[in-house]
Chains A and B, each alone.
Chain A
């Protein structure tokens, strides 16, 4: 029985270019999958114990919409301690992973603005989240030399043109490039001067070697910056889908209300696991970061030896390379999957997760 109604709705959705952007998963499909941007890591027994103890204690029921109080407090504290925001527990909404954080923040904060400006190259998940409803995006120009971060001038120009909501990634999800402290200060000033708001994806910040400048750290009143990211990144919880939004108080009610509408709350076990992870995070994170740093330096050297340009980036868990079509084919033919720059908006590059398999993928090019 043919349905015109169904055909029409299928046609409409198939034509929705943003919605149909591919989605990159936070974890690897197999040993040769280098397309993810999470950090594969062993799940520590203490984290398992924390989640298991909560389940044994009867924590198998709905919990508060924005998340369990101790986890929200731990997230706020962690952001304060890592100079990534001045948020309090009440500013935090726990999400079912990074993509839900993108969707909720873009859609609900976006309701207060006529338009939203995004980097012309960014995680395809951001376009996808945007595509669920008609929104008016504009795209900020980017260039490989600056790791695909829109320049401060481009942001200032968009603000001058009337844009009052920005979605920015630092580190960039494609290259790992970060804004410098001076650039972050300039962006903060632009936002203040124009009464503009920024959704700031700082999910890859834990993997930056050295100092990281968060826009949220300059927003001392938590007035205009909503920071989003993965929770317990690199703690073996990627497949548990757990993330956060840290937002100004004026948007919290709308975020919570939509979170209730779309999910009621986030998985209880995942929240207790993330809480457990927060207690041992500093112990586990530093060695993981330095191991990634060493690996990435080797990979960058191998790429350079092959004459492949490495796009500048500070996040140690990913490597963005300008490769030829022939080199891509060789990598694919050897069975490796990479994140295709064209899905971000930069067809000249690929992104590899930094791990031992990435060395083998580059080895295939020699």
Chain B
């Protein structure tokens, strides 16, 4: 096999590997919240190790957790689901994502993907033999996915429409009006909707998140994923879910059984505690992200870096095209020279070489320091050094 220059996920892992070698590295890359999992959730997991380690979990997950999930998606997303037949617990949002794609895409099928987007969608599509039909979004319009562009991308092979809101990496939130139009398009063309709500608790300013499955007539054609990873700082527990109509969820259950069989019951009990216990830690973290977002935007403004206004999520997708360098090179220099890790846009989409994705998942002091060092690198590049 030919050796390729690392790209996509492998480029990310190379940068992560290098950053790990520096004691003073500041990581503005990986989407892993700096907060540890709240103590009452950890305590529930420890209890489960004593009391529940012999629980039998079917592939779709413990009923008690599925009930907690059904209540959560009703309360937060206004989606009605039957916990017996319309919820499947997964190994994180990632497995949910992979399962959703496998459930609806057969070889040769097309899925419409607003770009830039979370790269695992492209990888999962490739596994399933599907084809990505890209709809570009732009910083000038805050990465809005334009329903007209979606409509124009439809062919007779289109089977599904992907809606990640808030989006990773673009941080755009699909407005209720656009969401209604997306549903209209899906209904007209008989498309499945894959909705990724993983950042639904992180929405800023006056923006509003709406789950497509909450709209009248949408549920029957929509699979919705979510996970506890980002909102409860539970990335290491690998706990997520899919909700959708019973007929599709029966297929998702079969696929979940096929690819991993079940989900750790210890993580599932932690999940029950997270969803049914006190929610103040979630609110505290969400508030911290609001403050940090402001801090990052102010620093980028000071550097003269443009970006699409992050309406939700945990990142800023910043345009560093004015440096004249490909962002993979900028990211590399940031790591090597100043030990700051940010992700190059090319890791998300081949057309986004001008962008860097920066997360605000570090304490404010760290963020400030990271941005200060980033400025040193940017200034040097601009000065031709």
Contacts and interface: CB of A to CB of B under 8 A. Distances in A.
A25 interface: yes
A103 interface: yes
17 contacts: A3-B192, A9-B159, A9-B251, A13-B254, A30-B56, A51-B49, A52-B46, A55-B46, A97-B261, A100-B260, A132-B259, A236-B54, A239-B52, A239-B266, A262-B98, A266-B91, A267-B237
Interface in B81-134: 91-92, 94-95, 98, 102-104, 106-107, 120, 123-124, 127-129
Given A55-B42, A239-B264, A263-B260, A268 B236 contact: yes
Nearest to A270: B264
Interface string B51-80: 011111111000000000000000000000
B258 A23 contact: yes
B54 A10 contact: no
Contacts of A270: 264, 266-267
A257 B35 CA distance: 27
Interface of B: 9-10, 13, 30, 32-33, 36-37, 42, 45-46, 49-50, 52-59, 91-92, 94-95, 98, 102-104, 106-107, 120, 123-124, 127-129, 159, 187, 190-192, 217, 220-221, 233-238, 247-248, 251, 254-255, 257-267
Contact of A269 (B33, B92, B267): B267
B56 A25 contact: yes
A335 to B, nearest CB: 16
Given A1-B187, A20-B254, 16 more contacts: A6-B192, A6-B248, A12-B106, A19-B255, A19-B258, A25-B56, A25-B261, A27-B55, A99-B259, A129-B258, A132-B258, A262-B259, A263-B92, A269-B264, A270-B264, A273-B49
Given A60-B42, A128-B258, A52 B263 contact: no
Which of A5, A97, A100, A262 counts the most chain B CB atoms within 10 A?
Answer: A262
Given A3-B220, A4-B190, A263 B95 contact: yes
A1 B220 CA distance: 8
A85 to B, nearest CB: 23
A33 B123 CA distance: 39
Nearest to B30: A62
Nearest to B247: A10
A33 B221 contact: no
A305 interface: no
Contacts of B235: 60-62, 264
Nearest to B120: A261
B221 A3 contact: yes
Contacts of A99: 257-262
A48 B59 CA distance: 24
A258 B102 CA distance: 14
Given A1-B220, A267-B236, A270-B266, A23 B260 contact: no
Which of B57, B127, B257, B258 counts the most chain A CB atoms within 10 A?
Answer: B258
Interface string A6-33: 1001101100000110010111111001
Contacts of B104: 9
Contacts of A52: 46, 49
Given A103-B260, A128-B257, A129-B259, A262 B56 contact: no
Contacts of B221: 1, 3, 5-6
A302 B10 CA distance: 57
Interface in A49-82: 51-52, 55-56, 58-63, 65
A241 interface: yes
Nearest to B90: A263
B266 to A, nearest CB: 6
Contacts of A263: 91-92, 94-95, 98, 238, 260
